[in-house]
Amino acid sequence: MCSGCFAAAWHCRKRGFLMTSPSDTRAQLSRRDLLTVAGAGGAGLAAVATGPAAIAARGSRKIDTSAGDHVLNFDLPGVRIGSAVYPDGPTGCTVFHFPKRATGVVDIRGGSPATFWTDAMRRGASPVDAICLTGGSLYGLEAVAGVATGLLKRKDFSTHWERIALVSGAVIYDFGARTTSTYPDRELGQAALEAARPGRFSLGARGAGASASCGKWLEPAVKRELAGQGAAFGQKGAVRVGVFTVVNSVGAIVDRNGRVVRGHLDPKTGRRRMYNESDGEVGESTPRGNTTLTVVVTNQKLGDWELSQVSRQVHTSMARAIQPFHALIDGDVLYAVTTGEVGSSKDRKQTRTVVDLATRLAWDAVLASFTGRNDKDR
């Protein structure tokens, strides 16, 4: 644990918070599932499951839904999370499924967002069955639709108004870190939905974070580095909060000591620069297509105003961890979701607890996004 993370953990423990850090579960993931295709044209999928990991082949394309070597374990019974990757991209998507339906809002910042079914959630608290974060830029929205049709099947193909699958989603432009045109499609979205499990989130180069990168503000004078998806979980009393993020930012990742720990790498010196160390080199070649996607989930009941406040405050706080943030060439999206299992929506004290937890956890989640990456992963 870096000194900044240690200090934050000590501070939270002092104030009565229970914090969970990402853990390396390599030893737990030695068993792999193998899923093979059945049915004409590879349309059917038959699974042989012996553990949490899975590798599927649909026709000639492989789908990897394994948890990977780095996993955060958390305790939020109201949400199930699954990731799926096309290794030939690599690109992927991450699905948050709320089996008993949850309530959420969305906060969208930056100049270049690309989303699916967010209008209602921007106006106020809205019911939601699932959220899909995906690579592939606009093409990746097909994966979000795949999650919706996957839920349609689970609802016995009922099209009654009250049973319509309410699925939202957002994309990152991950083509900048790879040379392929592969994008998450309907099959990959459905694979991530099928892989969804409670209490487990894959870190690093998994799901939508497979080809995510960060620290491009000073290009070409410095180089971007690969990032990924990160998460953190905390609890105070009965209130539980999980923050999950996919970091594909133009800005670099900064720790609690104010040091750049990912991105803006100077190839000449090996040092990572702050965004304001430009030497007059900014703006000429800064790449477009940057986005950080975040999902905040709590079991605390929150009303419309409270959820909106959580989304705004947590999203704003992330500018400490990613610098710069919410730029014109970013498309940052944050969902705030409550599963409504404990408390009262009128309890402003508990709302402050959620905000206090989530703003701290968001920084931890960003720092965990490049877990498993090394200096060769650039």
Which of 94, 134, 291, 338 is labelled catalytic? 291
pLDDT in tens, 325-358: 998 888 899 999 999 999 887 778 899 999 999 9
Please report, for residues 98, 186, 209, 223, 257, the alpha-carbon distance to residue 177 in angstroms, rounded to integers and kept in the order given. Answer: 31, 22, 11, 11, 28
Least confident of 142-156, 219-233, 269-283, 292-306: 269-283
pLDDT in tens, 159-171: 988 889 999 999 9
| 359: annotated active-site residue | no
When pLDDT is cut at 50, 70 and 90, the band that residue 244 belongs to is very high
When pLDDT is cut at 50, 70 and 90, the band that residue 56 belongs to is low
Q: Write the single-letter amino acid at 329.
A: I
- CB 332 within 8 Å of CB 272: no
Domains of the chain (ranges; CATH) run 3-367 (3.60.70.12)
Q: Specify the pLDDT at position 40.
A: 28
Which is nearest to 301 in space by CA: 347, 336, 335, 334? 347
**Residue 8 confidence (pLDDT) above 50:** no
pLDDT in tens, 246-304: 999 999 999 999 999 998 788 888 778 777 666 555 555 667 778 999 999 999 999 99
**Residue 200 confidence (pLDDT) above 70:** yes
Q: What is the pTM of this model?
A: 0.83
Q: Specify the pLDDT at position 59.
A: 53
Q: What is the pairing mode between strands 53-58 and 61-64?
A: antiparallel
Find the mean pLDDT for residues 59-71.
Answer: 88
pLDDT in tens, 73-127: 999 999 999 999 999 999 999 999 999 999 999 999 988 899 999 999 999 999 9
Q: Specify the pLDDT at position 264.
A: 79
The 10 Å Cβ neighbour count of residue 88 is 12
Give, as one character, the DSSP assignment of residue 343.
Answer: S
Tokens of 232: 């953190």
